[in-house]
Each structure stands twice: as structure tokens, then as C-alpha cells.
């Protein structure tokens, strides 16, 4: 058995080597690589993705998993965690007939192109038949791997955040709906108007770069074990805890956009830089789940970065890098400007208050697609009705509505809801943290070390040794509870907009 | 047979995918990667190097080679070229017992550290026993793979430049010695003194970056299919003809250093960007040999870049980027400054005239080590005597003498001589080019397109379809002939230093 454990771990290490090298290639492709090399890169990436797929679904892997399954409880913690992840992935990947995988993959490639064209031309009808096929194929594929009694959409939700299902999300979004919808209405009706125009003053890129480094280091990102550079879409790329990088993009008329990208990506990066050394050489060093990862990015971006205390502290510091035009801006003005809230059409541009409503709409629609068999042709109508109902606005066209996101063209159903978990998880963690630390006081002093140390102790160091549910249980003594999140939003936006709901 | 050919090509394609991805990792490691990640990178690089070694020496590879050997002459050109390279590499890599390979590899790792310390402390004696072992192990390893009648050093020379041996190099260096040694003496004794002090005026990095792009594009490097960035040591990194990058380093008090690095690396890059599309997806798209590759870098750097015509053209253009302090500098002054020649101790800082003497000394010493069994303890004495004999100077210590290069600590014997081939091959090519083109006239006009097109037609497009010897035969109708090179040096430096030898 010792030999099997050793061989299994070596095999997993080998797969990890591929992921690491592919991570380097991803970073390269998205930062400096010339566009002309795109075809060669696509070929190479396809080759290595297939390589990893074949390794994770091989007979060799099956052999290890079969040998380890009966003794899983007796394995050391790290091997057991690796085994569980590998097994889940193996079962998921091998139950769908390879012919179906191939057909589906081709369909998705085609769908992506068709979606892009449809969005460009605001022509939902040209995308509908393909999306109909995507939905049908998704159902067909999931049927092969449902566990007894499991519904298709629940399996999808579990794919993107282990342990999640409609029961949990229904309750979660009900709480969100109950608080945020009336809160938004109150905000819209408030006589309080925030002027954020001053934020669009020119800030040279060179100064923004200095702000990036200052802010990143201040909140705890170790720039020596990474770097900050530019890319079209900001991302965090970690291949090992000794090398975790972040990117941003600079708009000289919107410095705050890069500022928050940095805080967001730093949350992801601090997480991966702070995993325990004992798992540094394994795939467990990446982060527990999409939701838990997002809890860290949203924690630094929103909970800290959009708090009043943070702006009380950072305003003076920032002015050291900002041009004269910001000299007279008060911390209060900054705080209000970065928290301006209101209805909007585009998810990726939504503010902190309304973001989860955008997600909720997508969740409800996916649920209708897979539980109620809503025809795809109905999507634009349902989409627009829900935007009207929850946000009080109707998209003027489908390009700004149902066609805006890439996810469905990729067959990524069940993915959206994880986006709503970030600040919600973070709010739960903060409730616990406040029992141990003077959270608000530390932020107002610009002293983030103890805060990050707490997060590292409770969450970061474990990497993905535990499922998101286990982490919630360990840290908060219970499961997902949206009340921390909704209380946080309520308290913040009632005060800011001088409303009461 | 068709099936074997297909399978063999697929297998080679697969190996190439690994090389490509490792190329990306190399570029990343040497440009942006944080130092902290060095251990994780070493592990990863070791893993993939071994992977490639195992693939190139596998039973599968042996099977293909055995099947293809009897029909090699009937294969299509590309498959035959791939087969020949793969076979040569297989034979080389598999004939040495794996235990010996392992021991040698460990010895070299150890030796590198000892060499670094020895150089730092100017302590040859502390390195000598290890170098003795390296020489002994090199001999032992080579014994296993000698062809009938082949000597050890000839096998080493052939490893780094196919087809080379002592007979060719002896003759080559004799020609060099005969011309360059007296020429250098005459230069040293000349009353003509060149003042290059003005070259150390401040040139801001931002301006040097503009110069890099201008110069690179001007001589034919396609910046869209690559990029120019910084690294500690300049290099060219090509993973595919659509993505060939170059690096340089900027010293604000020595702008010409980066300028020539750019021209040099552009030579390598233009070569790889100009390989034929039919071999773009194969390992044949890299370049014929180290010597032929260096012929292209030295061609753009020296033959073009240090010519009078080039400075007649480029002086005005450069002044558009240089600060006012260069306003009064004439093209003649630039030309003289970049061709200042004289004895020096350090190979990598040597000028065009003396560079090959530094190489010759190393060649002669290696020859003594492997043919005459010169004891390692004698190296400092022999080294210093040869520097005195050929360059007229004696190193004041071993750190500036026999300990300066890393190569021997890596067991890389036979490598140095390829460095002398660059400008020598280039001079031969130019002699041919002049039959077809008004070479000097085109350079003086700053019109490099026809020159590069000629090089592409004769050399670049073939990649490594042919051996260096075959290329010389195809382009020049003969083998290596140093007279073109020595004539070039003689003509240039006699005129510059107003001497006659």
C-alpha cells in the first residue's frame, strides 16, 4: 500500500508539472505574446490540455483510485485530499461517452463564434438554435453522470462549487432578493446624489503603476514572490506559492478601475502565496473552490477596499501618487464615489449593491432552462422581465441583455451563481473575524497584517485540502448564510444613501 | 511504411510541443519571473528535460528509427531530415551507460558551484581536482560512442558543429593566426589612436528602447511576430516562426552595447522568422547549427553593423533618437569608435579583430587536454603563455584568465570553436552575395531588404534541413575557407589603423 501511495502521489505530481507549465504559457499568452503566434499557441495548448485529460482519466489513474478507495479513510491527510479530488474528477470525466464529449466540444467551438456574431449584430434569433443544441447536449451529457436522485441542474451547480445545489441557492437568493431589491429601490428614490465625476481626472500610467505596487504591498501581497504587469483582462496566475503574479489594465481617465482590479487580484494572490508549505508541491496549493477564491478577492476589493475606514486611511497615502486635481478631495468624497450604486445593464460593470441581482437573474433563468424546460426562444423575454422586476430597467436590445455573457455559449451552466458567493462568504468570515480582531479599527489604521494573518490561519493555509462546505463549517460553524451579506449591504447602503428599508 | 512515416512524424511533433512549451518557460524565467520561484522552476525544468530525453531515447523511438533506416533514401525530404537528426541524437544519447550519464550529470552540477567559488576567490587550485574529474568523465563518456577510428576531441567538435574536426579547425585557426596575430601587433603599434569616450554619454533608456525598435525593424526583424524586451543576458527565443523574441539590456552610459546586442539577436531572430512554412511545425525550423546561426547574428552585428557604409547611413537616423551631446559626432567618428580594437583579457568583451584569438586559445588548450593529455594543473600556465603569445598580454590572475568561462565546468568541450565560425561563415556568404548584389551600395543606402532576401533564399528558409557543410557547399561551392574572413579583417583594420602587414 505504501508503494501505491507513493506512486499515486508521483503521478499526481507529474500532472501538476503540466499544469504549472501550462500556467506559465497562459500568463505569457495573456501578457506579452505576439498575436501572430495565436495559431501555434492554440495547437500547443490543445496538445497539453489533451495530455492532462488523458492522464487524469487513464487506466493508470483508475488503477490507483481503485486501490486507494477501500483505504481512503486511513490515508494521510494530503494523499486523501488528492485522492478525493482525483476521484471526483475521474468519475466526472469518464462517465460521459467520448463520442459525446467530442461532439459537444465541437458544438461549443462553433457556438462561441456564432454567439460573438449574434452579439455584434444584436441578433438573438441567429444564436437561438445553437443555444438550444447546447442546452440539449448539456442535458444529455449530464444524464450520464447523475448520481441517484440527483437533478441535472444540481449536478451542474456542484461542478462549479462542491456541495452546492438549488436548495441552498434558492434560499440564498431569496434572502438576497428580499433585502437588495427594496434596498435598490430606496437608493434609486433617495434624494442623496453622489458626484463621482472627479474620479475621471487624468492619472498618468506611471503614477498608477506606483499606486498598484503601493496598494498591493500594503494589503499584504508579496511582490517579491510575484509581479504586477498589464493584460487586456486582469487576472491572477499562480504556478507555485513562490511565483504568484497579478495583472491589471490602466485607463488614464479611470485610475480607480485599476486600483480595484489590483485589490481584487491581490485577494486571489495572497490566498495562493499563503498556502501551507506542506502542500506547496501539490495541486492542493491552489485554493478550495471558485467561491472561496472569490471570497478572498472580494474581501480585499469590497469589504476592505470599499469601506469607510479604508478610505479614511488610504486617502492621504493615495494623494502622494495622485495629481494636484485630487488635492481637495476628501476621504468622504472618495468613499461615496467608489460606492455609487444604481441599476445597470451589464454584469461586469455592476456595483457592489446590484452585482448579486445580475447573478440571481442568470441563476433563475438557468433553473428554468433545466428544471422547467423553458424554451430557449423565451430567453430574451424572461431576461428583460427579470431586469425590469429586480433592477427596474429593461435592456434596449439583446446585445445589452441576454447576449452579453460568453458563458452559455460555452455550455457553462451553473457557473454564474459562484460569482455571488464571493462577498457573501467574505461577510460570513468577517463576522467571525470581528470576534477575534478590532477589524474596523485595524483598517482605519491601515494595518492589514493581522487581518491577513487571520485569513491565512483560517483559510489560506489549507489550500484545497477541504471543500468549501468544510471551510464554512470550520470557520463559521455552519453553512452558507446570506444574512451576514445582506446585513452588510443594508447597513452600508442605508447609511450612504440615507434611506431605511 | 506510410503508417510508420506518419507515426514517426507525429511522435516528433509531440517532442516539438514539449520544446516549444519549454521555450516559453525559458523566456519567462529569463525576463519576468521572480527569483523566489527558482527552485520550483528548476524542478519543473528538470522534469520536462528528462521527459524529452526519455522520449528521444525511448524504445518507441528506436522502433521508428529501425524501421526507417533501410528506406531513409526514399523518404520525403522533411521526414528524411527529421530521421537523420533523430537518429544521430538517439545514437549519441543511448550509447553512454545511464549510470555514467547520471554520475556525470551530478559531477557537473557540483563542478558548476565549485567553479563559481573558485572564480570569485581567484583560486584555480580549488577547482583543478574537479576539472580533472570532468575531463576524465568526458573522456570515459565519449569512449562509449566513438565511431571507428574517431578521436575523442573530434567527436566533441562534431557534437557542437556537425562535420567539424581538428583537421578543419587546425587549418582554420592557422589561417587566422597567420593574419590576425601580426595584424593585432600592427594595430597596437599604430600611431592612429581612436577616441571613443563620447560613446559613454548618457542616453536614457526610453530613447534606447526607441533605437532598438527602429534598428531591429530597419534591418528586417518583424516586431509584429515577436517582441523586444529586457533580460540580464541578451538572447533570442523562438518557439515558432510566428513568435520569435529578442532581449537586450540597457546601460544608460553605454548605449552602443544594447544597439549591437539588438543587431546580433536580430540576426538569430530573422533566421528563425524566415524559415519555410513547410517546416514551420517541425523542429527543423530552428536553424542549421550553432555556427550557421552565429553566422547570421554576426552578419548583422559585425559585417553590416560595424561597416563604414552602415554608419554613413545610420548616423543621421540615430541622431533623431540620441541626445544633443551626439550632435557633432560624424559618421567617421562613430565608425571608428565601434571598431576600436586591441588586446583584452575577457572573451565576451573582445572586439571583432581579437575575438577569434580568444577562441583559438581555448581550442588549442582543449586539443592539448584531449589529444596530448595535458594535465589540468598546467592550464593556468598554458593559458597565460598563449595570451602573451597571441595577444601580447598576461592575465594578472586566474579569475581574469583560465577561470573566466563557465563552459569547462559544464563539460562543454568542443563548444568554443563554434563561436569563431560566425563571422567566418558570414564572410564567405558575403563573397557570394557580392556576385549577385551591390552589397556595399545597398548598405550605404540603408536598404537591407534585398540583402536579407538573399540570405533567406540561400540559408534561412531551409532551417535545419541541411548540415552546415551542405549549406556551405550549396551557397559557396566548397567548405570552410578562412581566407574570406581574414581578408575581411585585414582590409578593414589595415585601413582603419593605417597599417600594412
Q: What is the pLDDT along chain B (501 residues), one digit of tens a residue?
A: 899 999 999 999 999 999 999 999 999 999 999 999 999 999 999 999 999 999 999 999 999 999 999 999 999 999 999 999 999 999 999 999 989 998 999 999 899 999 999 999 999 999 999 999 999 999 999 999 999 999 999 999 999 999 999 999 999 999 999 999 999 999 999 999 999 999 999 999 999 999 999 999 999 999 999 999 999 999 999 999 999 999 999 999 999 999 999 999 999 999 999 999 999 999 999 999 999 999 999 999 999 999 999 999 999 999 999 999 999 999 999 999 999 999 999 999 999 999 999 999 999 999 999 999 999 999 999 999 999 999 999 999 999 999 999 999 999 999 999 999 999 999 999 999 999 999 999 999 999 999 999 999 999 999 999 999 999 999 999 999 999 999 999 999 999 999 999
Report the C-alpha dihedral over residues A406, A410, A411, A413, rounded to 10 degrees.
-40
Strands (E), B136-250: 228-230, 236-240, 243-248
pLDDT at B455: 98
Which residues in chain A are contacts of B21 at CB distance < 8 A? 21-22, 25, 44, 48
DSSP states of B46-101 as a string?
Answer: HHHHHHHHHHHTSHHHHHHHHHHGGGGGGS-HHHHHHHHHHHHHHHHHHSS-HHHH
Burial of B51 (0-12, 13-18, 19+ CB in 10 A): middle
Which residues in chain B are contacts of A47 at CB distance < 8 A? 14, 17
Do B195 and B340 meet the contact criterion of CB atoms below 8 Å apart? no
- Kindly report the CA angle at B26 between B20 and B28, in degrees rounded to 5? 110
Instruction: Measure CB to CB from residue B34 to each of A25, A32, A226 and give the nearest one.
Output: A226
Bridging pattern class, strands B228-230 and A236-240: unpaired
| Cβ neighbours of residue B490 closer than 8 Å, sequence gap 6 or more | B179, B183, B501
Per residue in A340-399, pLDDT (tens digit) is 999 999 999 999 999 999 999 999 999 999 999 999 999 999 999 999 999 999 999 999
Do A413 and A369 meet the contact criterion of CB atoms below 8 Å apart? yes
A43, A229, A230, A242: best mutation site toward chain B, by most B Cβ within 10 Å?
Answer: A242
pLDDT at A1: 85
B11, B213, B243, B275: best mutation site toward chain A, by most A Cβ within 10 Å?
Answer: B243
Q: Positive or negative CA dihedral for A215, A216, A222, A225?
A: negative
- The upper half-sphere exposure of residue B39, i.e. CA atoms within 13 Å in the direction of its Cβ, equals 7
Mark out the alpha helices in A32-76 (DSSP H runs): 38-56, 59-68
B229/A32 touch (CB, cutoff 8 Å), yes or no: yes
- Kindly report the CA angle at A38 between A35 and A39, in degrees rounded to 5? 145
Question: In Å, how far is B318's CA from the nearest CA of chain A?
Answer: 27
pLDDT at B1: 86
pLDDT over threshold 90, residue A174: yes
Show which residues of B are catalytic.
Answer: 265
Question: In Å, how far is B310's CA from the nearest CA of chain A?
Answer: 30
Between CA A115 and CA B134 the distance in angstroms is 62
**Count of A–B CB contacts within 8 Å?**
86
Report the C-alpha dihedral over residues B50, B54, B55, B58, rounded to 10 degrees.
180
A28/B33 touch (CB, cutoff 8 Å), yes or no: no
Between CA B288 and CA A13 the distance in angstroms is 36
Collapse the DSSP code of A111 into the 3-class scheme (helix H, G, I; strand E, B; otherwise coil) and give the result. Answer: helix
A243/B21 touch (CB, cutoff 8 Å), yes or no: no
pLDDT over threshold 90, residue A56: yes
Q: What are the residues of chain B with a beta carbon less than 8 Å away from any beta carbon of chain A? A: 14, 17, 20-22, 24-25, 27-28, 32-41, 43-44, 47-48, 224-227, 229, 239-240, 242-243, 245, 281
Q: Which three cell numbers stand for residue A325?
A: 486635481
Which residues in chain A are contacts of B22 at CB distance < 8 A? 21
Question: φ and ψ at A341, to 5 degrees?
Answer: -130, 155
B25/A24 touch (CB, cutoff 8 Å), yes or no: yes
Do A42 and A105 meet the contact criterion of CB atoms below 8 Å apart? no
Do A343 and A183 meet the contact criterion of CB atoms below 8 Å apart? no
Which residues in chain A are contacts of B239 at CB distance < 8 A? 37, 40
A36/B229 touch (CB, cutoff 8 Å), yes or no: no
Between CA B242 and CA B294 the distance in angstroms is 21
Q: Which of A238, A196, A223 has its CA nearest to residue A16?
A: A238
Segment (H or E) for A244: strand A243-248
Question: In Å, how far is A218's CA from the nearest CA of chain B?
Answer: 19
Bridging pattern class, strands A243-248 and A228-230: parallel
Do B220 and B448 meet the contact criterion of CB atoms below 8 Å apart? yes
DSSP-assigned beta bridge partners for residue B229: B247
Q: What are the residues of chain A with a beta carbon less than 8 Å away from any beta carbon of chain B? A: 14, 17, 20-22, 24-25, 27-28, 32-41, 43-44, 47-48, 224-227, 229, 239-240, 242-243, 245, 281
pLDDT at B315: 98
Between CA B428 and CA B468 the distance in angstroms is 13
Do B476 and B286 meet the contact criterion of CB atoms below 8 Å apart? no
Between CA A201 and CA B460 the distance in angstroms is 51
Mean pLDDT over the full length of chain A: 96
B10, B12, B26, B44: best mutation site toward chain A, by most A Cβ within 10 Å?
Answer: B44
Show which residues of A are catalytic.
Answer: 265
DSSP states of B171-203 as a string?
Answer: HHHHHHHHHHHHHHHHHHH-S-----GGGGS--
A226/B25 touch (CB, cutoff 8 Å), yes or no: no
Which residues in chain A are contacts of B224 at CB distance < 8 A? 34-36
Residues in chain B: 501
Question: φ and ψ at B223, to 5 degrees?
Answer: -65, -25
Q: Which three cell numbers stand for residue B213?
A: 525598435
Which residues in chain B are contacts of A237 at CB distance < 8 A? none
Which residues in chain A are contacts of B229 at CB distance < 8 A? 32
Do A334 and A308 meet the contact criterion of CB atoms below 8 Å apart? no
Between CA A428 and CA A175 the distance in angstroms is 14
Per residue in A215-273, pLDDT (tens digit) is 999 999 999 999 999 999 999 999 999 999 999 999 999 999 999 999 999 999 999 99
pLDDT at A310: 98
Instruction: Measure CB to CB from residue A37 to each of B32, B43, B242 and give the nearest one.
Output: B242
A243/B48 touch (CB, cutoff 8 Å), yes or no: no
Instruction: Measure CB to CB from residue B36 to each of A28, A39, A224 and give the nearest one.
Output: A224
| Among chain A residues, CA nearest to B10 | A47
Q: Which three cell numbers stand for residue B372?
A: 596530448
Q: Which three cell numbers stand for residue A279?
A: 502542500
| Among chain B residues, CA nearest to A281 | B40
Q: Which of B219, B142, B131 has its CA nearest to residue B409?
A: B131
B19, B22, B35, B40: best mutation site toward chain A, by most A Cβ within 10 Å?
Answer: B40
Amino acid at each position: 500500500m505504501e508503494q501505491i501511495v507513493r506512486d499515486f502521489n508521483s503521478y499526481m505530481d507529474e500532472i501538476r508539472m503540466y499544469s504549472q507549465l501550462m500556467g506559465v504559457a497562459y500568463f505569457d499568452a495573456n501578457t506579452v505574446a505576439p498575436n501572430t503566434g495565436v495559431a501555434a499557441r492554440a495547437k500547443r495548448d490543445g496538445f497539453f490540455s489533451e495530455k492532462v485529460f488523458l492522464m487524469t482519466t487513464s487506466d493508470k489513474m483508475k488503477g490507483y483510485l481503485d486501490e486507494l478507495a477501500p483505504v481512503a479513510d486511513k490515508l494521510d491527510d494530503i494523499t486523501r485530499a488528492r485522492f478525493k479530488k482525483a476521484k471526483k474528477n475521474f468519475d466526472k470525466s469518464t462517465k460521459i461517452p467520448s463520442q459525446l464529449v467530442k461532439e459537444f466540444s465541437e458544438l461549443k467551438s462553433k457556438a462561441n463564434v456564432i454567439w460573438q456574431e449574434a452579439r455584434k449584430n444584436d441578433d438573438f434569433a441567429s444564436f437561438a438554435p445553437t443555444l438550444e443544441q447546447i442546452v440539449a447536449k448539456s442535458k444529455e451529457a449530464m444524464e450520464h453522470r447523475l448520481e441517484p436522485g440527483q437533478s441535472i441542474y444540481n449536478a451542474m451547480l456542484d461542478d462549479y462549487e462542491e456541495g452546492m445545489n438549488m436548495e441552498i441557492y434558492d434560499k440564498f437568493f431569496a434572502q438576497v432578493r428580499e433585502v437588495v431589491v427594496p434596498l435598490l429601490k430606496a437608493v434609486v428614490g433617495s434624494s442623496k446624489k453622489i458626484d463621482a465625476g472627479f474620479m475621471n481626472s487624468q492619472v498618468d500610467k506611471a503614477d498608477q503603476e506606483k499606486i498598484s505596487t503601493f496598494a498591493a504591498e500594503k494589503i499584504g501581497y508579496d511582490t517579491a514572490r510575484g509581479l504586477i504587469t498589464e493584460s487586456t483582462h486582469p487576472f491572477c496566475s499562480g504556478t507555485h506559492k513562490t511565483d504568484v503574479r497579478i495583472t491589471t489594465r490602466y485607463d488614464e481617465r479611470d485610475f480607480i478601475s485599476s486600483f480595484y482590479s489590483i485589490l481584487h487580484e491581490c485577494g486571489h494572490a495572497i490566498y495562493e502565496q499563503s498556502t501551507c508549505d506542506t502542500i506547496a508541491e501539490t495541486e492542493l496549493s491552489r485554493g478550495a473552490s471558485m467561491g472561496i477564491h472569490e471570497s478572498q478577492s472580494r474581501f480585499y476589493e469590497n469589504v476592505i477596499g470599499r469601506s469607510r475606514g479604508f478610505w479614511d486611511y488610504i486617502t492621504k497615502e493615495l494623494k502622494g501618487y495622485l495629481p494636484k486635481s485630487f488635492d481637495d478631495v476628501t476621504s468622504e468624497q472618495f468613499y461615496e464615489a467608489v460606492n455609487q450604486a444604481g441599476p445597470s445593464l451589464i454584469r461586469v460593470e455592476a456595483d457592489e449593491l446590484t452585482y448579486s441581482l445580475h447573478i440571481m437573474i442568470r441563476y433563475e433563468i438557468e433553473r428554468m432552462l433545466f428544471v422547467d424546460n423553458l424554451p430557449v426562444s423565451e430567453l430574451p423575454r424572461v431576461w428583460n422581465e427579470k431586469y425590469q422586476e429586480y433592477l427596474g430597467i429593461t435592456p434596449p436590445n439583446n446585445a445589452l441583455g441576454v447576449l452579453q455573457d460568453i458563458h452559455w455559449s460555452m455550455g457553462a451552466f451553473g457557473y454564474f451563481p459562484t460569482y455571488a458567493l464571493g462577498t457573501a462568504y467574505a461577510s460570513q468570515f468577517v463576522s467571525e473575524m470581528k470576534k477575534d480582531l478590532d477589524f474596523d479599527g485595524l483598517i482605519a489604521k491601515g494595518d492589514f497584517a493581522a487581518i491577513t494573518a487571520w485569513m491565512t490561519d483560517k483559510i489560506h493555509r489549507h489550500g484545497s485540502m477541504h471543500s468549501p462546505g468544510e471551510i464554512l463549517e470550520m470557520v463559521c460553524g455552519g453553512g452558507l448564510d446570506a444574512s451576514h451579506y445582506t446585513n452588510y449591504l443594508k447597513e452600508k447602503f442605508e447609511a450612504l444613501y440615507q434611506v431605511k428599508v
